[in-house]
Amino acid sequence: MAPPAEEKPQRPQFESKASTHPALNPEITNVPVTPGVHLSGKTAYFDESTTEKTNNLPFDPETATPGPSWSANSYFSNQQREDQAGAQTEKAAGAQSDGEVKSKMGDTPNPDAKTELADVDPRAAHPNLNLSGRVISATFAIPYSIGYSQGNDWELTPRRGTSALFDSFSYLASSSSPWNHTLVGWTGEISNAKTASVVTAQAPTNKAAAPIPVDPKKPTQTPQAPNSFRIGPEDRERLDKQLERDHGGRIVPVWLVDEVDDGKDEYILKNQSHWRTYAENELYTLFHYKQNEPADGRAARKSWADYYRMNKLFADRILEIYKPGDIVMVHDFYLMLLPSLLRQRLPSVYIGFYLHIPFPSSEFYRCLSRRKEILEGVLGANMIGFQSYSYSRHFSSCCTRILGFDSSSTGVDAYGAHVAVDVFPIGINAVSTQRQAFGDPEIDEKLKDIREMYAGKKLIVGRDRLDAVRGVVQKLQAFQLFLEKYPEWVGKVVLIQVTSPSGVHTDRSDGAQEKVVNKISDLAAKINGTYGTLDFTPVRHFPQYLSREEYFALLRLADIGLITSVRDGMNTTSMEYIICQKDNHGPLILSEFSGTSSSLSAASHINPWDMGGVADAINDALKQSDEHRADVHAQLYKHVVQNNVQAWSNNYLKRLMTNLSSFDQAFATPALDRAKLLFQYREAKKRLFMFDYDGTLTPIVKDPQAAIPSDRVIRTLKTLAADPANAVWIISGRDQAFLDEWMGHIPELGLSAEHGSFMRHPRSQEWHNLTETTDMSWQQEVIDVFQHYTERTQGSFIERKKIALTWHYRRADPEYGAFQARECQKHLERTVAKKHDVEVMTGKANLEVRPKFVNKGEIAKTLVQNYGEGSGNAPEFVLCMGDDFTDEDMFRSLRQSKLPTDHVFSVTVGASSKQTLASWHLVEPSDVISVISLLNGSADAGNVGAIAVVDGTLAAPHNSNLYVGKTGTAHESGPRLTIPQHGHDGFSRPGTTNSTQYTMGLMEKLQARLELYRLEQRYTRREKRTTFISEAQYVDGEYVYASSPSSANSSTTTSSKRFSKMPAIRIKELGRMGTGRS
């Protein structure tokens, strides 16, 4: 066993550079630039006593990319080769100035280029975030294919594909970046060490897809299926040290295992590919606008369970290395549940998510069976990035249409926070690509050979994955039409198509993949048979990976780059082609369905389904003048060099920090201080409560008549109103009949209907009409207008009340309904509102017209005045809660009252970022009920954390089976946190009548809160060989994760833990399968 590597510094010493940015001026900020990095240049991440430079890396740490391991050439050949031509490598940079671009294009550099803040430290502008300086990147697999031989060093072979993403990781790990970087990824399918260099791609679908050997004497080997493995702790530790010792940055592998041998602590790996199944068969397919045929429901449930468990294991691994202030970057569709899983356990963690593939429209996305869970998982991030604006627009639309969240062009308001949604087109490492393409003599030799082979011919080059969405079939059909439509080019133009194996293991059960392969082969043969001769072959098809030298030689020699993908995210071939064409200036024909098309606006955009249009574009490109080609290429080249992968990494992190900082410093409404609320409540002798109904006591639903109060709501309100010191009012926009039906049986409640038009005092059955003398002639005009828009807005309807009239469009299309509501509002304000003393009010998916003097603020003012003014008369405690725009009148009225501010608690329900006059906020209606229960002293107070022990006690259900704290038995004294016992269905049983009070001291309250966060990790670690996560349910405003026994003969008792408010990930019937898994 190799000795452990010596601990080496994570970051070279920070060098302060001149900058005029205010964040670097201590006289302005009076704080360090960033936690751990002082303005003087001292850094907490580097041991200054260490003078000896330790460098075991296989690359120069001063360069942007760590040699051939992670750079773009990992896509090509298997062999590790020394890039001798790259000895003098340029440093990678972030966003580059025009002068730098001109320098790379042959102009003289600008020596007076101003030092940007990012050159010093981009965290300098956001000292309030208390960043640690570390970035944890979570991606599906590490950049290496792994070969295993028991007791020996692991074989690490660069993984093909996703080179741009790996280049981003290598940049963040280099000294050019101000960050300390850690990469967390799955080990991938582990193979035998002797076949590790071979098993880097899928086996060919059939003979037509088999690779064509470049050298016939060295036939290409066929990948072998991985065997089962038993990997012990020493081998796992060896891999950890080997990844840390031999490769740039820190790489932390995630072990996805099928079983664990208890006695030997060995991980048993069997069918390793099943972890890919859900992501690649369901998400990847549907996100590219393809649908699989319905399959066995049991298989679908199992693949979803594997997907959830994979994300859970990633979350566990990240939590092992996470430190406060770290930024977690989650990449791609394999890990769409990870942001939510991290947020549940680390509410204050900084999370960014980036989707590298397209995101479909809501019409297509809603076909996904787990559509809500996927969206809820991603919304755990602080910022979500996409390749193009259309993808971000589709995502926001799905959040509105499927989850009902408010969204805009800047983001989505979800779960009490604003999740930023933005566009970040990813690039390539332009400097490294240019160095490899033009600095290797072998490539020059290959270029000469290919030029001689195709002397006098125009070359059209395309490189695509063997996937139906890459549009290879459409490309061949368009080329066939081109030769038919423009016969003068026959014998003069050759299409060289490289079709490399797909890195995504899509489902081949229906033979779809084989059909694509056969179609491509048939088309190529047909074109060659029709237009080919003995000395001319119009289509050269290579279904394989080309060597690095051949690939770059083709891109340099090509006359046209042709990309016809029918659905694509980021296309690296188009950018590599632009870099390689810096001398030849060949045109680029790019599909408008590629995610790169919006960035490369100067390219010739085509619709791959329009064969004639593609044929015409090829003809036009062949006839372009040299001047036009040079002008277009200059624009494309400038964009690719400026917007490289380093700039993408920097821009994403800068925008994430800006959003985090802006959100923290904006006019965010703080969460309700429940301890302060409870203290003031108990001190007061006269208390006034005012509650809105819809969206406050009950959730918003599509059918207003279905928003009936639950038993818990009724029970909680009845208990609160029973206290003679409490005056409890429901001030709602609902009509009298509804409030009478559902609230009228509580005599102690005061009711106000139609926003204050009618009032019913406590212990009275009589309603008072406050608008008896009001002219109501305006109603018919409003009904006519509402009817006009109802007929034109499917799903909308009119609610006629005695005073107010409301037009609801909650059942309509969200975007079209909102548009129609704005038009209707404008029409009413131009007509009815000018002739009558009425106002047009917008609510949540509704539009209401009512008399101006009727509003909730007048009712709140009246209720406060009824007590009288001055000490001894005015209420000593006022709690007012609402969620809608109409409730702002109550908050405004309370602000204008003469009540002491510490006696008034105005609370809005919803995101803390929304504009409001309230002083506090709660996230959702379930929080409202939990707060009222807390004031009632009920054990059904919900997840209030350490706030529940302000009186020195912590309520716990009578039946408990897991204890975390200082005590070990029920007879010992001291603090105790309990986990309630649950039924076999996984649901908690709130409101248990028999509850036990456990005494806690003041100094132990903080410990109680910390134990809640640590609980799930402890329990999982203790039980990991006998249980696994099986259920996550939303119960009475709280999320319950249940651990089910792994054996059918085990006890049916389950244990759970309550988390903070985040979406639950539901997994049905998981307890019935996967027996024996850890």
pLDDT of residue 211: 54
pLDDT of residue 680: 93
Do the strands 144-148 and 155-158 form a parallel or antiparallel pair, or are they unpaired?
antiparallel
- The closest alpha carbon to 713, from 545, 940, 527, 1013, belongs to 940
Instruction: Report the distance separating Cα 1050 and Cα 1032, nearest Å.
Output: 20
- 3-state DSSP call for residue 548? helix
Contact criterion met (CB below 8 Å) for 1070 and 1044: yes
- The closest alpha carbon to 234, from 151, 145, 321, belongs to 151
Side-chain half-sphere of 339: how many Cα atoms within 13 Å? 27
Q: Which of 326-330, 575-579, 901-905, 1047-1051 has the lowest mean pLDDT?
A: 1047-1051
Instruction: Report the distance separating Cα 377 and Cα 403, nearest Å.
Output: 12
What's the pLDDT band for 884 if we cut at 50, 70, 90? confident
pLDDT of residue 243: 86
Task: Please report, to the nearest 10 degrees, the dihedral formed by the alpha carbons of residues 302, 305, 309, 310 taken in order.
Answer: 60
Query: Which helix (H) or strand (E) covers residue 641, if one does?
Result: helix 626-642
Better-predicted residue by pLDDT, 377 or 957: 377
Location of structure tokens 């991938």 = 188
pLDDT of residue 822: 92
Location of structure tokens 């009558």 = 836
pLDDT digits (tens, 9 = 90+) for 211-245: 554 444 445 554 554 557 888 888 888 888 888 77
What's the pLDDT band for 630 if we cut at 50, 70, 90? very high
What's the pLDDT band for 871 if we cut at 50, 70, 90? low
Do the strands 134-141 and 768-769 form a parallel or antiparallel pair, or are they unpaired?
unpaired
Mean pLDDT of 830-845: 88
User: Cα 538 to chain center, whole Å?
Assistant: 45
Better-predicted residue by pLDDT, 460 or 508: 460
Query: Is the model's pLDDT at 897 over the cut of 50?
Result: yes
Cα dist. 443→78, 216, 440, 556 in Å?
17, 21, 5, 9
Q: Which of 161-165, 199-203, 498-502 has the lowest mean pLDDT?
A: 199-203
In eight-state DSSP terms, residue 211 is: P
- DSSP of 805-863, one letter per residue? EEEE-TTS-HHHHHHHHHHHHHHHHHTHHHHSSEEEEEETTEEEEEETT-SHHHHHHHH
pLDDT digits (tens, 9 = 90+) for 9-20: 444 433 433 434
The structure tokens listed for 629 are 């080609």
pLDDT of residue 963: 30
Instruction: Report the distance separating Cα 158 and Cα 949, nearest Å.
Output: 54
Q: Which of 250-264, 798-812, 1035-1049 has the lowest mean pLDDT?
A: 1035-1049
Query: Is the model's pLDDT at 661 over the cut of 80?
Result: yes
Instruction: Report the distance separating Cα 920 and Cα 905, nearest Å.
Output: 7
First vs last C-alpha separation in the chain = 28
pLDDT of residue 334: 95
Contact criterion met (CB below 8 Å) for 206 and 519: no
Q: Which of 299-308, 554-563, 1040-1049 has the lowest mean pLDDT?
A: 1040-1049
Q: Which residues pair with 351 in a beta bridge?
A: 328
731 CB-contact burial (10 Å; exposed 0-12 / middle 13-18 / buried 19+): buried
The structure tokens listed for 435 are 């160095």
pLDDT of residue 1036: 40
User: Cα 95 to chain center, whole Å?
Assistant: 24
Question: Could you tell me what percent of the chain has a pLDDT over 70?
Answer: 70
Domains of the chain, with CATH numbers?
1-54 (no CATH), 55-117+131-190+234-423 (3.40.50.2000), 445-641 (3.40.50.2000), 674-770+854-934 (3.40.50.1000), 778-851 (3.30.70.1020), 943-1072 (no CATH)
Query: Is the model's pLDDT at 342 over the cut of 90?
Result: yes
The structure tokens listed for 1024 are 């990991």
Instruction: Report the distance separating Cα 696 and Cα 879, nearest Å.
Output: 13
Query: Is the model's pLDDT at 386 over the cut of 90?
Result: yes
Contact criterion met (CB below 8 Å) for 196 and 157: yes
- 3-state DSSP call for residue 128? helix
Do the strands 411-414 and 805-808 form a parallel or antiparallel pair, or are they unpaired?
unpaired
- Own/partner pairs, 111-115, CB within 8 angstroms, 24+ separation: 115/17, 115/18, 115/19
Better-predicted residue by pLDDT, 706 or 987: 706
- The closest alpha carbon to 668, from 908, 376, 880, 888, belongs to 908
Instruction: Report the distance separating Cα 826 and Cα 828, nearest Å.
Output: 6
Better-predicted residue by pLDDT, 562 or 214: 562
Strands (DSSP E) contained in 114-254 are 134-141, 144-148, 155-158, 180-186, 191-192, 229-231, 250-254
Tell me the average pLDDT of the chain.
74
Cα dist. 705→329, 415, 502, 708, 798 in Å?
43, 24, 52, 7, 13
Better-predicted residue by pLDDT, 111 or 731: 731
Instruction: Report the distance separating Cα 140 and Cα 321, nearest Å.
Output: 17
Contact criterion met (CB below 8 Å) for 68 and 74: yes
Query: Is the model's pLDDT at 44 over the cut of 70?
Result: no
pLDDT of residue 512: 66
pLDDT digits (tens, 9 = 90+) for 276-301: 999 988 999 899 888 877 777 788 89
The structure tokens listed for 306 are 């594997």
pLDDT of residue 662: 80
In eight-state DSSP terms, residue 195 is: G
Contact criterion met (CB below 8 Å) for 517 and 206: yes
Do the strands 560-563 and 250-254 form a parallel or antiparallel pair, or are they unpaired?
unpaired
Better-predicted residue by pLDDT, 740 or 69: 740
Query: Is the model's pLDDT at 985 over the cut of 50?
Result: no
pLDDT of residue 120: 52
Query: Is the model's pLDDT at 1054 over the cut of 70?
Result: no
Contact criterion met (CB below 8 Å) for 45 and 36: yes
- The closest alpha carbon to 581, from 613, 606, 603, belongs to 603
Cα dist. 425→162, 520, 562, 579 in Å?
14, 30, 20, 17
Write the single-letter amino acid at 258: D
pTM above 0.75, yes or no: no
pLDDT of residue 687: 94
Query: Is the model's pLDDT at 495 over the cut of 90?
Result: yes
What's the pLDDT band for 664 if we cut at 50, 70, 90? low
364 CB-contact burial (10 Å; exposed 0-12 / middle 13-18 / buried 19+): middle
Mean pLDDT of 185-211: 60
Contact criterion met (CB below 8 Å) for 76 and 551: yes
Q: Which of 285-299, 725-739, 761-775, 963-977 has the lowest mean pLDDT?
A: 963-977
pLDDT of residue 50: 35
pLDDT of residue 667: 59
- Other beta carbons less than 10 A from residue 833's beta carbon: 18
